[in-house]
Amino acid sequence: MTDIPARQADGNSAPMAHNVPVAAGRAAEAVTTKMTARDVNVFYGAKQALKNVSIDVSRENVTAFIGPSGCGKSTFLRCFNRMNDTVDSAQVSGRIQLDGKDIYSPDMDVVQLRARVGMVFQKPNPFPKSIYENIAYGPRIHGLARAKPDLDIIVESSLRRAGLWDEAKDRLNESGTAMSGGQQQRLCIARAIAVDPEVILMDEPCSALDPIATAKIEELIDELRGKYAIVIVTHNMQQAARVSQKTAFFHLGSMVEYGDTSMIFTNPVQTRTKDYITGRYG
Amino acid sequence: MSLSLILVVVLALGAMAYWLGRSRGAAMVVAGGHRIGAVHSLPGYHGAWVALLALAPALVVLAGWAIVGEGVVTGQVLAAVPQDVRPVTPLDTSAFMNEVRGLAAGDIAAAFNPAAEAVAPQYRAIRGNYNLMVGALALALFAIGGLWAFSQVRPDFRARNRVERVVKWGLVLASVVAILTTFGIVMSLIFESIRFFQMVSPVEFLFGTKWSPQTAIRADQVGSSGAFGAVPLFWGTIFIGAIIAMIVAIPLGLMAAIYMTQYADARVRRVVKPMLELLAGVPTVVYGFFAALTVAPAVRNFAVSIGIADASAESALAAGLVMGIMIIPFVSSMADDALTAVPQAMRDGSLAMGATKSETVKKVLVPAALPGIVGGVLLAVSRAIGETMIVVMAAGLAANLTLNPFSSVTTVTAQIVALLTGDQEFDSPKTLSAFALGLVLFVITLLLNIYALAVVKKYREAYE
């Protein structure tokens, strides 16, 4: 897993949408498409937040959404687990599929969808419960553990995978909110992992953290790559370059460019992308 | 010349002083060519300053005379009464002077006491003279103050700063009055309670289980033992206000709040929430007769139908049920605030885990909002145990120490009403016990409020 991103990326899953320029790429490794989005539009009341966005998210790669504030990247991310349902004024149109099944179709149960597509938020939001209870929350509501020993195993393995076990094992009964910001965010990642999702959405997971905690989260994302399809929204271009293999650049509600991270950052096709990457605006 | 007429004249002159000061200020502004800085204060401030200096001393003199004047006049009138018919005790003096005043004002045609009729004209004369003197003094002070202030009206005179300072002290005075009144109420409670505890031991009052405040007037009277064990009253208060009412109010209020904050859409919330809060605006006496005339008979019929033959027409259950309904808005609006204050991130986190709405409410929102909800419930309890009308009308006056919700119980507030209604002598333990009961109630609700506010405040800090 230490290959440089450019060699992992491939061109086969390159964008299929009509308005997305195709990034050049060489077939290196087979990738499986986990989620696809086609012609997604999102309106908040009369205001259009997202315009005709299409994208494929693969299981093996970390996909980063970058772009200036208000460009629609977080709105788009929240379409993948239907979190926009909780916003009364939001209207989503278009097609988003998980393993080929439309997640907005009437027979898709949103509870199951969210168990399969987990989410980590901008600000760490552990529940005001103990560390143990924070992790056990998801498995409990989805009935994943029959007895306490099963639950103990899930809690331990989730914390281990989130790299938090050594720090948390002696204080499982302390409140999750008593941890440091970086620990809280890793706790939230562990909480998402605990229900064994297929996709993890991360909405600017490091924006409230200091550089050291950020480095830890990035390390963790790299370790989780391949086990879960990961989509990360970030403000920080260096972060996108460090953790992702595919990058999509959003501007004013449209997806301007989508391709291999190495290409986007070294040789973008669109001038708007280039201007953003070189710091002309944003 | 009556005092009120003098007062009206002085106030009218005050308005004139304001107008004069204002006009002179306005003239200065014109003379200064409307430049900023040419005249320090706006004309209105000059007017207010002149009016203030003119009115303040005059009003102080009038107020002082209104307080001490009657005493001075009374002294002189009594001195004019012949020694042999002069009233001696304070009570006689008061009755005598009432007749004199009535005659002097023309309210009554004749007095029982011929001596009063004799001095009535004198009273009128003395009173009139004094009023004239005081009126003249007030007007003189008015003129001196007004003229002095008027002479100060110059472009560089800082009238605004002075008026603002007076305004500030006026506001301080207003708040001091409110605080002192509260302090006075507490003091009167304490002093009357001390008198009561000199007659009845505090231990008997606080821990005795027999309440029968009728004291015997004659030695051979039956059934008027005068027992002051207040435990049945405390129990009744807690039984109705803190147990039955809360069994009604906590689930209903909490669930209403959950519906309002989590399920209702904005339109429903806009209509239903004010309607729920309207419950808090219903006068408690209306709840009282609702309890007494509608709920209490229904409760009694229900009790009889399930085989409790001796069910009372006034029951703890009826009063508690209605009180619970009354308390719902308190619980629901505090719970509403507490639930709304839980950060959206918490809710999103739970929903993103695949939790349903009700799981999110049950496992995340309510536990997170619990301190705020508990604070609201404690405030509601303190409101419920101080509530009077419902229990007076529906709970009865029998001091029973019972667990049976269908039997009649009484509360601290209902007893206080019973003890102090009608003509009462204020030196018997029966009447004074009302103050002791009031003191206990005051202390309990004060502690509950302090604790509840501390809980709510601490909880708010946790999320800010």
What does the pLDDT look like over A99-126, one tens digit per residue?
989 999 988 899 999 999 999 999 999 9
Q: Using one digit for the tens of pLDDT, what is the confidence trace for B227-266? A: 888 899 999 999 999 999 999 999 999 999 999 998 988 8
CA A197 and chain centroid, separation: 12
Q: Using one digit for the tens of pLDDT, what is the confidence trace for B168-198? A: 999 999 999 999 999 999 999 999 999 999 8
Q: What is the pLDDT of residue B213?
A: 80
Name the token pair of A194: 């605990």
Q: Using one digit for the tens of pLDDT, what is the confidence trace for A58-68? A: 999 999 999 99
Per DSSP, the residues of A181-196 read HHHHHHHHHHHHHTT-
Q: Using one digit for the tens of pLDDT, what is the confidence trace for B332-347? A: 988 998 898 888 889 9
Kindly report the CATH number assigned to the domain that includes residue B458: 1.10.3720.10
Measured distance CA(B431)–CA(B84) in Å, rounded: 38
* pLDDT tops 90 at residue A76: yes
Mean pLDDT within A171-178: 90
Q: Using one digit for the tens of pLDDT, what is the confidence trace for B281-304? A: 889 899 998 998 999 999 988 988
What residues in B contact A112, CB-CB < 8 Å? 354
CATH superfamily name and code, A4-277: P-loop containing nucleotide triphosphate hydrolases (3.40.50.300)
Which residues are registered as beta bridge partners of A91?
A: A43
* Phi-psi group of A45: left, alpha or beta (phi > 0 → left; psi -120 to 50 → alpha; rest → beta): left
Assigned domain for B54 exists: yes
Nearest to A130 by CA among A89, A172, A170, A92: A172
B292 and B428 inside one domain: yes
Assigned domain for B203 exists: no
B267 and B406 inside one domain: yes
Q: Give me the sheet containing A47-58, strands edge to edge.
A: A47-58, A33-44, A90-98, A101-102
Q: Answer yes or no: do B354 and A113 touch at CB < 8 A.
A: yes
Q: Predicted confidence band at B352 (pLDDT cuts at 50, 70, 90)?
A: very high
Q: What is the pLDDT of residue A247?
A: 94
B234 and B133 inside one domain: no
B131 and B11 inside one domain: yes
The residue among B130, B157, B184 that closes a domain is B157
Percent of chain B with pLDDT over 90: 36
B335 and B456 inside one domain: yes
* Torsion sign over Cα B216, B220, B221, B226: positive
Q: Taking the CB of residue B151, how many other CB atoms lie within 10 A of it?
A: 10
Mean pLDDT within B63-74: 88
* pLDDT tops 50 at residue B307: yes
Q: Using one digit for the tens of pLDDT, what is the confidence trace for A224-260? A: 998 999 999 998 888 999 999 999 999 999 999 999 9
Q: What is the pLDDT of residue B217?
A: 60
Q: What is the pLDDT of residue B125?
A: 87
* pLDDT tops 80 at residue A136: yes
Assigned domain for B392 exists: yes
Q: Answer yes or no: do B354 and A83 touch at CB < 8 A.
A: no
Q: Which of B324 and B424 is assigned the larger pLDDT? A: B324
Measured distance CA(B154)–CA(B175) in Å, rounded: 34
Name the token pair of B134: 């005081």
Average pLDDT of chain B, as a whole number: 87
Q: What is the pLDDT of residue A17?
A: 40
Q: Answer yes or no: do B353 and A83 touch at CB < 8 A.
A: no
Average pLDDT of chain A, as a whole number: 86
Percent of chain A with pLDDT over 90: 61
* pLDDT tops 50 at residue A69: yes
What residues in B contact A81, CB-CB < 8 Å? 352
Mean pLDDT within B64-90: 84
- Mode of pairing for the β-strands spanning A246-251 and A33-44: unpaired
Assigned domain for B180 exists: no
- Scanning A21-147, the segments in alpha helix (DSSP H) are 73-79, 110-116, 131-141
Q: What is the pLDDT of residue B29?
A: 86
Q: What is the pLDDT of residue B461?
A: 63
Q: Position of tokens 């004139």?
A: B16
What residues in B contact A176, CB-CB < 8 Å? none
B151 and B253 inside one domain: no
Q: Position of tokens 């200064």?
A: B32
Q: How many structural domains compose chain B?
A: 2
B30 lies in which domain range?
3-157
Q: Which of A254 and B424 is assigned the larger pLDDT? A: A254
Collapsing DSSP to helix, strand or coil, B395 comes out as: coil
Q: Taking the CB of residue B392, how many other CB atoms lie within 10 A of it?
A: 25
Q: Answer yes or no: do B352 and A118 touch at CB < 8 A.
A: yes
| Closest-CA distance of chain B to residue A119, Å | 6
Whole-number Cα distances in Å, A62 to B8, B90, B281: 86, 97, 58
Which of A127, A198, A204 should one mutate to test binding to chain B, selecting the residue with the greatest count of B CBs within 10 A? Answer: A127
The residue among B101, B129, B157 that closes a domain is B157
Cβ partners under 8 Å of residue A194, min gap 6: A135, A136, A137, A138, A139, A154, A155, A158
Q: What is the pLDDT of residue A32?
A: 84
Q: What is the pLDDT of residue B211?
A: 86
User: For residues B385 and B236, is the Cβ–Cβ distance under 8 A?
Assistant: no
Q: Using one digit for the tens of pLDDT, what is the confidence trace for B46-61? A: 999 999 999 999 999 9
Identity of residue B61: V
Nearest to B44 by CA among B28, B32, B60: B28
Q: What is the pLDDT of residue A282?
A: 60
Q: What is the pLDDT of residue A245?
A: 94
Name the token pair of B16: 């004139």
* pLDDT tops 90 at residue A155: yes
**H and E: helices and strands count for chain B:** 18, 2
Q: What is the pLDDT of residue A23?
A: 42
Give this prediction's pTM.
0.73
Cβ partners under 8 Å of residue A184, min gap 6: A124, A126, A176, A177
Measured distance CA(B434)–CA(B439) in Å, rounded: 9
Q: What is the pLDDT of residue B460?
A: 65
Q: Answer yes or no: do B346 and A141 touch at CB < 8 A.
A: no
Identity of residue B76: Q
* pLDDT tops 90 at residue B428: no
Task: Identify which of B348, B353, B356 has the shortest CB distance to residue A138.
Answer: B353
Whole-number Cα distances in Å, B216 to B212, B213, B222: 11, 10, 8
Burial of B280 (0-12, 13-18, 19+ CB in 10 A): middle
- Scanning B208-356, the segments in alpha helix (DSSP H) are 231-237, 245-258, 266-278, 284-290, 296-305, 316-341, 344-352
Q: Predicted confidence band at A195 (pLDDT cuts at 50, 70, 90)?
A: very high
Q: What is the pLDDT of residue B216?
A: 60
